[in-house]
Amino acid sequence: MKNDNSEKLTSTFEFDKNLFSSKAIKRAIYDLSYEAGFDLQFTTEGKIQVTINKKTSTLAGTAVQNFERLVLYHQVRLEVEEDYRVIRQIIVAQAFAPCENLQSIVGTLKQNDKTI
């Protein structure tokens, strides 16, 4: 994550696509869309470039700090969602099915995902 021009009304961030999901970046942009305008671009070097155009100078520091924090927050959430996807599926399946079929559900999910 790289930030240029943090003191101006425009700041540019670069994120490595191998480390940060575009979904996490888009969620952070959505969360701050009331504070600033955003320009999202995908570069040929495998980077995601985000330019923040703050609406007022009073939001300058806040928008930049919140954006960095929110991108990390959403990235962690996405990774945790993926790590616990199978457990969530088991809980949801069991909530809507009788208890006697739990072993069948777990067996099916194990076949679909080898991380269990």
Separation of alpha carbons 40 and 89, rounded Å: 33
- Beta strand segments in the chain, E: 2-4, 10-16, 36-42, 47-54
Task: Decide if 35 contacts 45 (C-beta within 8 A).
Answer: no
Domain boundaries, the chain: 2-83, 84-116
pLDDT, one tens digit per residue, over 44-72 is 899 999 999 877 656 556 778 889 999 99
pLDDT, one tens digit per residue, over 18-36 is 999 999 999 999 999 888 8
- Per DSSP, the three-state class of 34 is coil
pLDDT of residue 79: 96
pLDDT of residue 18: 92
More confident residue, 55 or 78: 78
Q: How many CA atoms lie within 13 A of 24 on its CB side?
A: 23
pTM, to two decimals: 0.70
Separation of alpha carbons 83 and 48, rounded Å: 24
pLDDT of residue 6: 47
Class for domain 2-83, per CATH?
Answer: alpha beta
Cα–Cα distances in angstroms (integers) from residue 16 to residues 12, 85, 97, 102, in the given order: 14, 25, 42, 41
